[in-house]
Amino acid sequence: MLAALLLLAITTAPAQDSLGPGEPAWLAYRPVNPAAVFPNGVPDTVVVLGSDVLENSASRELALGWRGMLQYEPRVVTGANAQLARAVVVGTQAEVTTWRASLNDGKSLAPDSYRLRRTGDILIVEGGDPRGVLYGVFALLRRIAEEHSLATLDESSGPADSIRWTNEWDNPNGTIERGYAGPSIFFKDGKVRADLSRAAAYARLLSSIGINGCTINNVNANIGLLKPENLADIAHIASVFRVYGVRLSLSIDMSSPQALGGLKTFDPLDPEVAAWWKSKVDEIYRAIPDFGGVLIKADSEGRPGPLQYGRTPAHAANVVARALQPHGGIVLYRGFVYNNHLDWHDMKADRARAGVDNFHTLDGKFDDNVIVLIKHGPIDFQAREPVSPLFAALPHTNQAIELQITQEYTGQQRHLVYLVPMWKEALDTDMRASLAGPPLTVKQIVSGRNIAHEHHTAGGFAGVANVGTDGWLGHPLALANLYGFGRLAWDSNLTAAAISDEWTRLTFGNDPEVRAVVNKLELDSWHIYESYTGPLGVGTLTDIIGIHFGPGIESAERNGWGQWIRADNNGIGMDRTVATGTGYIGQYPAPLAAKYESLATCPDELLLFMHHVPYSYRLHSGKTVMQHIDDTHYWGADAAAAQVPIWESLHGKVPDATYAEVLKRLQFQAGHAVVWRDAITQWFTKMSGLPDAENRVDHYPNRIEAESMQRSARPRSPGTSLTAGTT
């Protein structure tokens, strides 16, 4: 009955337009040519073999897809005895075998996996479990949206990683830390929202890309959420997630036993503290039987943690993990533990070292249901960072990679930055200890499946999404990042280009011109953004004291946060070498350490992350550092401006509201890129005393002004302008 009511609530969710631009995102189900997909006729019946709530979702989704894409209302029948002609049959492997024993060819499917097959006029979507059935249906609908012929079909797929979660940094008052798309879809005014239709719609989106968990509250966790009355409300969110196979999890504060429970201490080794966690976790599971687990940020940026009692992250993680273990829950314990009161005078101090320094002695000391969650870079989601050396330092510990979908330091969704290529660089980095052995990439490490890391029991991906009520992520083209995160967590071998194209086709249809334009914009965007912001791995140069938006070159220097660029009149960059610097480079396995330690082999794009050099230092490209800064910034601002007419070529070919929203944001970006360019080139020109070879710095704005006047003379949609700002 409850399930039926929930289904009703979901099918009667507010109409698409009330959800703002971006909804229904990539589940647009635009009409396709049915004959291209089904040359022998469109299946007219959906047969659901089982009665699991996820199989109900699967059949409902098929009906939606049929209606939207094939403009056909299918007959939906349940049970194995249905009379079939042309049909799609959905069920678990066990159900399919019971239905037709002859279809069992011995290939067994793991949980969450699926197989799509055709036999005669019947298409079969078979899952290793009900969640796999749902994933299989979404995969089939993707094939249809891309107009692939389904005349023949036999393919199987399963996720590389068991943990595929988004983290949402939502606060009970409805704000979202580092959220750039309006208020929370979960909370309002200190309470869980009464209307959870957007939460349900979000779970559907997540499920369509294989995401199986969602942490609904800020890692800077609010203690009150663990109160009984709040848990009862949070259980409603879990119910709407459940329909799509998404398990809810919570961020918790390690001081809860004291701050909420009234104990004298929150020392993780105190038996009363352990008992408190056990009783609290049991209470959570009574409210939410399929609760996924907890996310913990401790001893970081002012959050309480075990160090206060001289205990370690392993002690803290394990005390909660032991409470979760009987229920099948996990702990994601963040490796983002660092001191934000570093002494900037100390040339050996280095925030980048913190992960390995704090965790390497703990390898093998975490319980099996603890996963150490590691930000992909050692600092904090900057536009360019090397991969975190912590991935190589914990061979006997479950690990997951933390990626940031919300664009905190990468333009806050007012700049277009497709992040998948950046994430791929981290995932594909080879961390093997010696070149003699086989490659050991970060994606293998987090998948927990390679022999060198045989003690892994689980691993995966967590992505900080921070979706809000405004088109999920605000910028319509930023949704490719959420989509790409899910697809990579499922299969990290997919290319950035393939993911972009898939997302584009599902979102905008198969028009080759639209695909070409959107793919170009997405795939060029990271390089463009990096060009007019922080060069050569120095950091983003974003204003780190304020809202992390716009240039603030000096804000990184002379404070305890450790995002130093060490720029003075003579040179720039952090010396992280073993020979003369902080020794950070020595935290990498030998082959990578050798590559970064030597100026001869350190890649240009990471030069200033690893080394301190004079502005006149010549890069592998042949340019000096200073000339590189000038050239890339002028190029980058021009390239940002050029995105506007590229997008304008799609006028009338994409939905009007999306067209206008993207145009507005690209125009803003073009202006803001000029602000970035001028701030950085002028600051470094003054600092280095080296003039631009092309004499552009301080002179160029006149040209830009002239160009922008020309542009604004052309007709454009109302309410848009080229003016930059930081609203």
What is the binding site for ligand GCW (CB under 6 A)?
A: 169, 177-178, 219-220, 297, 301, 336, 380
Exactly one of 44, 290, 301, 363 is catalytic; name it.
301
Provide, rounded to whole angstroms, the least separation between the CB of residue 426 and ligand GCW: 16
Q: Name the residue nearer to ligand GCW (CB basis): 539 or 586.
A: 539
Provide, rounded to whole angstroms, the least separation between the CB of residue 475 and ligand GCW: 20
Strands 293-296 and 330-334, by their bridges, are parallel
d(CA 110, CA 551): 48
Q: Name the residue nearer to ligand GCW (CB basis): 19 or 176.
A: 176
Determine contact, residues 521/591, Cβ cutoff 8 Å. Answer: no
| 363: Cβ contacts below 8 Å, ≥ 6 apart | 393, 394, 395, 396, 397
Determine contact, residues 496/526, Cβ cutoff 8 Å. Answer: no
Determine contact, residues 403/462, Cβ cutoff 8 Å. Answer: yes
d(CA 399, CA 397): 6
Provide, rounded to whole angstroms, the least separation between the CB of residue 618 and ligand GCW: 34
Provide, rounded to whole angstroms, the least separation between the CB of residue 409 and ligand GCW: 8
| 268: Cβ contacts below 8 Å, ≥ 6 apart | 254, 274, 306, 309, 311, 315, 316, 318, 319
Q: Name the residue nearer to ligand GCW (CB basis): 57 or 382.
A: 382
Pick from 300, 287, 269: nearest CA to 231 = 287
Provide, rounded to whole angstroms, the least separation between the CB of residue 101 and ligand GCW: 52
Determine contact, residues 441/492, Cβ cutoff 8 Å. Answer: no
Instruction: Determine the Cα angle at 661 with ends 656 and 664, to 5°.
Output: 120
Determine contact, residues 231/284, Cβ cutoff 8 Å. Answer: yes
Sign of CA dihedral 409, 412, 417, 422: positive
| 551: Cβ contacts below 8 Å, ≥ 6 apart | 533, 541, 542, 543, 675, 676, 679, 680
d(CA 426, CA 413): 22
In the bound complex, which residue of the shown chain has the CB atom lying closest to ligand GCW? 380
Residue 621 neighbours by CB distance under 10 Å: 10
Q: Name the residue nearer to ligand GCW (CB basis): 540 or 681.
A: 540
- Find the DSSP H helices in 76-129: 93-99
Determine contact, residues 533/412, Cβ cutoff 8 Å. Answer: no
Provide, rounded to whole angstroms, the least separation between the CB of residue 382 and ligand GCW: 10
Active-site annotation holds for 95: no
Q: Name the residue nearer to ligand GCW (CB basis): 140 or 390.
A: 390
Provide, rounded to whole angstroms, the least separation between the CB of residue 301 and ligand GCW: 6
Which residues share a beta bridge with 293?
A: 249, 330
Alpha-carbon distances, residue 453 vs 325, 432, 546 (angstroms): 22, 11, 41
Active-site annotation holds for 301: yes
Exactly one of 168, 408, 575, 661 is catalytic; name it.
408
Q: Name the residue nearer to ligand GCW (CB basis): 178 or 711.
A: 178
Provide, rounded to whole angstroms, the least separation between the CB of residue 300 and ligand GCW: 6
Beta sheet of 114-119, edge-to-edge order: 75-78, 45-48, 87-92, 122-127, 114-119, 154-157
Helix (H) or strand (E) holding 296: strand 293-296
Exactly one of 380, 501, 522, 530 is catalytic; name it.
380
Residue 502 neighbours by CB distance under 10 Å: 20
Sign of CA dihedral 205, 209, 215, 219: negative
Q: Name the residue nearer to ligand GCW (CB basis): 301 or 357.
A: 301
Provide, rounded to whole angstroms, the least separation between the CB of residue 380 and ligand GCW: 4
Helix (H) or strand (E) holding 708: helix 701-713
Active-site annotation holds for 408: yes
Q: Name the residue nearer to ligand GCW (CB basis): 140 or 219.
A: 219
Torsion angles phi and psi, residue 95, rounded to 5? -65, -40
Q: Name the residue nearer to ligand GCW (CB basis): 339 or 444.
A: 339
Pick from 161, 200, 212: nearest CA to 19 = 200
Query: Tell me, what amino acid is at 510?
Result: N
427: three-class secondary structure by DSSP? helix
Q: Name the residue nearer to ligand GCW (CB basis): 297 or 432.
A: 297
Provide, rounded to whole angstroms, the least separation between the CB of residue 9 and ligand GCW: 31
Residues carrying an active site annotation:
301, 380, 408
